[in-house]
Structure 1
């Protein structure tokens, strides 16, 4: 294939973000907020003509955005919507399987209808990009991007992603590219995973030793007995779960496996260094171990009984209220509860020390992340405008404004941050919006809530640890010297004194408690439709039984449900799918080792 190759190579990390966002759902469709006028232009819901904008884009358009990682459904609103409107005279109507339900079914249904979306944020791995190209659902962006100045800096990563299809052209652009080495932790000062606890409650019970995962339970029980109610007087729980992100397995049960260096690939838990591969349903697997942990926790009264019915938004609000004492991700517990006021009072989430943990970390990739890419739909009304928008997402301004809110994006210059003596520092507004998590936007930015107005795309174009050429510092404020100087609250200093480190990353590195999976850009190959059918049947059973096991009435019932799950999926063809996943997991490890060797 003919590909343009530029000299700038960058590398990527998956963050949970990958996996998450906290924006309020808005299920209003574009038809509810705009209407056609007699002259063919559109009016917004207030009746004002929106057929204006920059001289470059005369016609106002609504762009349907299929986004597999967004946690928001409907028209993007708030300050980010204003930025998009002012720059591109368009609005974003987000179609999110995470919110709408249906997941892969919604993807297949829209694909079969011949129109997945105008902008498509989805995975290009497992043959999906080839499927989109073959079906004519995405367009070749080569000519559209030829005069763009930002995205073409990452041509090498773009070429690697588009090598996944046999046709020449540029059909997808990967996310989160970065220039660092494959064995560099990509997440910043807090990894994507970790045992984050309400440190004030942990302190109140005397900082008890936690030797293993199971030792968390008696500690959390003491913490729950000490901090019995939330800030609004509701009963506290150690654990609270939700079903939104369940896939090949129960998502919440997968997270603690990452504390021991594992991550999922299909039905396999693969250790970051390639030293172990486990079938998740085995009786001695880490996944089954976590299910048993949660079962024991529920027997002890540590699990929120509303876990089976609530969604992510409900869960987030419980963390914000201080109702949950353990968080598997820093961006959930810390993001929701660690306000300036709470930290000054010594209250908030910090990572706890588990003696035998080695936390999984995603290493950087120069080739970007093919599991989350952006494409332009073949039926898009104004593809050049969408190419311009994509290019802006990869610009320093776009990276700061639109990266996932869970990943430490610094926000707009001169609003949330400014340059002082050549160094970026948070403004007073930025401290409120980014540390406390919300603020009221100035009228010049359209007013409303900071949090409700953030980009709901959940797309990190460039790894935020990479250097912003306009500031000479990282895109994320969380590693700025000026931000680290703020970490002198009662909460921070108590944690630092106890852990003998200034940051989470420093503690993990000093104590050999991190295991980095080198970035490689590996993409799982297309699986047959027969395998997909078997997988869907098996994973539905695994998820169902996993929830039932956690809330089983006694250990005998837990054991019988485990056996029943194993027998059921074995009868559904689990072994055949597992064989493929095991091969892919080992191929992934080989790619990681090759990428690391090539970087030396």
Structure 2
């Protein structure tokens, strides 16, 4: 799962250890499979056709240009069969994260990005005036489910693009929107915080961690005591990967959050804290440098995975599934290994707070998180695409995407709510085989490769009154009262990690701002690209520098060289973007 940036470069996302940004508590990963009766799907298709006068008789292949996807090609497996049976559609996914950023330039130059687009906010601002996005104002208003979110979600977002959308028409629907409030944080653990295997941490005495030096020392002890998995695979304390890098080294970016600084989406040169302070990345006191130093020191101690410079995210995901990594920092990474069954034995990845951290955490993505769903201006059969998107935010569509299918992944309880089945608890980690009549193949392999949603799993299912996120089902909470969770709660005297950080004043929750921060001029865009590439490449060299002297030399050279690439101009542009965020956060807080 991968959610790239707040918008999601790690889609979120992005999504994700379930491939879509699914946070998996101290329990099993969110599933997505299907066990729907084929005849039910066929009757649904027929009634939809009759009720909406939409003809499903002809197969429709939808070309999806998807910034969030980690997969390129046809959607197959159980989700592919579901869409084929229900709508007679096939998704053909184009993924810049697989094919490279040039794909966007090539297709926009040709005047046709695709039928269905999942793109970044900044790209939307370019695509509207270029005439490559369809105005869906009337289409959205005529839907059954999407129409419910027009006034409170879609309109506020689209009207913010007033420079390119002066009439406030609806061109796009933000991704991963919550239906809570603009200042609520619902999750039990911050998006980025220190996470480690509880049994291994306890196995070396569970020493209190006061700072990053203590963290490195405990990782060293854990590596010495637990060098391999039971089946002989090497365990690494820290593993890194390059393919998510954007305006800097992404693995550095998110650890900066531990100490109160975030790098706003669309920026390359600055970090921002909850008070509104703006610090350039190349400032000697920047959190970016502090985290680079942390990784460098870790590598000097033999704690960084030697595969880091060459592996991609998919390889990292394998290692997480096998419990080969000791330090995690995304909340959803727990889902690759954690399960209720393992929790009963005190086995699983949990938050391990470091005393000197002070986390910055965005609230629920009420207005979305930096990407959008849109229709290309030349989209084939837009009414059928809208029907599919409307279904995606329906209770049925959300259940499939977030939790798989009833009877396989989850089942109803006596009180009408849902609970995970035994299969559902581990279907993602085990890539459980799916019955042939539902598409066959492995469960994880067949999940939705869109890796993105319009409404997130922090929307309540009208039939149960509970979030679609199964970690917050009452049945899951009850089942999750395992040795792992109770031991953690007793140790930290808190219900969950978010509660611990709040109680100890170790976290700032800031309003989640999702808007257009302005598009770059061609001059700034070129300078940003050169600076980004230079900073990323130099950052990796610094992590693997042969000694402290080389680390310092690389840092000093980077500080000088980026100025010649137009650093000051890009800092000015990024500062303006950050100041807009600061103002909007203040406004959101004032309106609570």
- If the TM-score is normalised by the length of the shorter chain, which range does it land in? 0.7 to 0.9
Name whichever of 461-470 and 385-394 sits farther off: 461-470
Are the structure 2 counterparts of residues 145 and 267 from structure 1 closer, same or farther at C-alpha, using a change threshold of 3 Å? closer
Q: Whole-Å Cα distance in 2 between the matches of residues 263 and 547 of structure 1?
A: 19
Name whichever of 547-556 and 582-591 sits farther off: 582-591
Deviation at 1:573, TM superposition (A): 0.6
Q: Whole-Å Cα distance in 1 between the matches of residues 245 and 276 of structure 2?
A: 26
Alignment of 1:562 with 2:560, yes or no, is no
Residue in structure 2 matched with residue 290 of structure 1 by the alignment: 291
Are the structure 2 counterparts of residues 437 and 284 from structure 1 closer, same or farther at C-alpha, using a change threshold of 3 Å? farther
1:264-302 Cα deviation digits (max 9, x unpaired): 121355445234221111122101111111111001000
Structure 1 unmatched runs, 5+: 1-12, 25-52, 403-408
Judge conservation of contact 2:271–2:281 (CA < 8 Å) in 1.
Answer: no
Question: 1:496 is matched with which residue: 474, 489, 501?
Answer: 489
Alignment of 1:226 with 2:225, yes or no, is yes
Residue in structure 1 matched with residue 268 of structure 2 by the alignment: 267
Residue in structure 2 matched with residue 313 of structure 1 by the alignment: 314
Are the structure 2 counterparts of residues 96 and 195 from structure 1 closer, same or farther at C-alpha, using a change threshold of 3 Å? same
Residue in structure 2 matched with residue 143 of structure 1 by the alignment: 138
TM-score by length of 1: 0.87
Alignment of 1:113 with 2:110, yes or no, is yes
Alignment of 1:85 with 2:84, yes or no, is yes
User: What SS does structure 2 have at the residue aligned with 1:134?
Assistant: coil
Question: 1:534 is matched with which residue: 527, 533, 554?
Answer: 527
Q: Whole-Å Cα distance in 2 between the matches of residues 117 and 445 of structure 1?
A: 28
Judge conservation of contact 1:14–1:362 (CA < 8 Å) in 2.
Answer: no
- The CA RMSD over aligned residues, in Å, is 2.2
Q: Whole-Å Cα distance in 2 between the matches of residues 232 and 114 of structure 1?
A: 52
TM-score by length of 2: 0.88
Residue in structure 2 matched with residue 439 of structure 1 by the alignment: 432
1:152-173 Cα deviation digits (max 9, x unpaired): 1111221223221325432111
User: What SS does structure 2 have at the residue aligned with 1:453?
Assistant: coil
Question: 2:575 is matched with which residue: 569, 582, 593?
Answer: 582
Are the structure 2 counterparts of residues 234 and 364 from structure 1 closer, same or farther at C-alpha, using a change threshold of 3 Å? closer
Deviation at 1:178, TM superposition (A): 2.7
Judge conservation of contact 1:291–1:546 (CA < 8 Å) in 2.
Answer: yes
Residue in structure 1 matched with residue 154 of structure 2 by the alignment: 158
Judge conservation of contact 2:361–2:508 (CA < 8 Å) in 1.
Answer: yes
User: What SS does structure 1 have at the residue aligned with 2:174?
Assistant: strand
Deviation at 1:457, TM superposition (A): 0.9
Are the structure 2 counterparts of residues 351 and 479 from structure 1 closer, same or farther at C-alpha, using a change threshold of 3 Å? same
Q: Whole-Å Cα distance in 1 between the matches of residues 228 and 422 of structure 2?
A: 31
Deviation at 1:520, TM superposition (A): 3.5
Q: Whole-Å Cα distance in 2 between the matches of residues 497 and 442 of structure 1?
A: 42
Residue in structure 2 matched with residue 392 of structure 1 by the alignment: 391
Residue in structure 2 matched with residue 328 of structure 1 by the alignment: 329
Are the structure 2 counterparts of residues 561 and 191 from structure 1 closer, same or farther at C-alpha, using a change threshold of 3 Å? same
Judge conservation of contact 1:232–1:321 (CA < 8 Å) in 2.
Answer: no
Judge conservation of contact 1:418–1:424 (CA < 8 Å) in 2.
Answer: yes
Residue in structure 2 matched with residue 428 of structure 1 by the alignment: 422
Residue in structure 1 matched with residue 480 of structure 2 by the alignment: 487
Are the structure 2 counterparts of residues 477 and 14 from structure 1 closer, same or farther at C-alpha, using a change threshold of 3 Å? farther
Alignment of 1:468 with 2:465, yes or no, is no
Name whichever of 486-495 and 298-307 sits farther off: 486-495
Alignment of 1:198 with 2:197, yes or no, is yes
Q: Whole-Å Cα distance in 2 between the matches of residues 551 and 324 of structure 1?
A: 19
Residue in structure 2 matched with residue 453 of structure 1 by the alignment: 446
Q: Whole-Å Cα distance in 2 between the matches of residues 583 and 459 of structure 1?
A: 29
Are the structure 2 counterparts of residues 365 and 491 from structure 1 closer, same or farther at C-alpha, using a change threshold of 3 Å? closer
Q: Whole-Å Cα distance in 2 between the matches of residues 81 and 494 of structure 1?
A: 41
User: What SS does structure 1 have at the residue aligned with 2:453?
Assistant: coil
Name whichever of 175-184 and 252-261 sits farther off: 175-184
Judge conservation of contact 1:69–1:457 (CA < 8 Å) in 2.
Answer: yes
1:293-325 Cα deviation digits (max 9, x unpaired): 111100100001110000001111112222211
User: What SS does structure 2 have at the residue aligned with 1:195?
Assistant: strand
Question: 1:18 is matched with which residue: 12, 15, 20?
Answer: 12
Judge conservation of contact 1:268–1:585 (CA < 8 Å) in 2.
Answer: no
1:193-241 Cα deviation digits (max 9, x unpaired): 1101122111011111111123211111111111111243133221111
Name whichever of 473-482 and 352-361 sits farther off: 352-361
Residue in structure 2 matched with residue 180 of structure 1 by the alignment: 180
User: What SS does structure 2 have at the residue aligned with 1:80?
Assistant: helix
1:345-382 Cα deviation digits (max 9, x unpaired): 3322111121122222221354334x211111122221
Deviation at 1:385, TM superposition (A): 0.3
Q: Whole-Å Cα distance in 1 between the matches of residues 496 and 355 of structure 2?
A: 18
Give the number of aligned pairs. 547
User: What SS does structure 1 have at the residue aligned with 2:509?
Assistant: strand
Deviation at 1:504, TM superposition (A): 2.2
Judge conservation of contact 1:274–1:586 (CA < 8 Å) in 2.
Answer: no
Judge conservation of contact 1:116–1:137 (CA < 8 Å) in 2.
Answer: yes
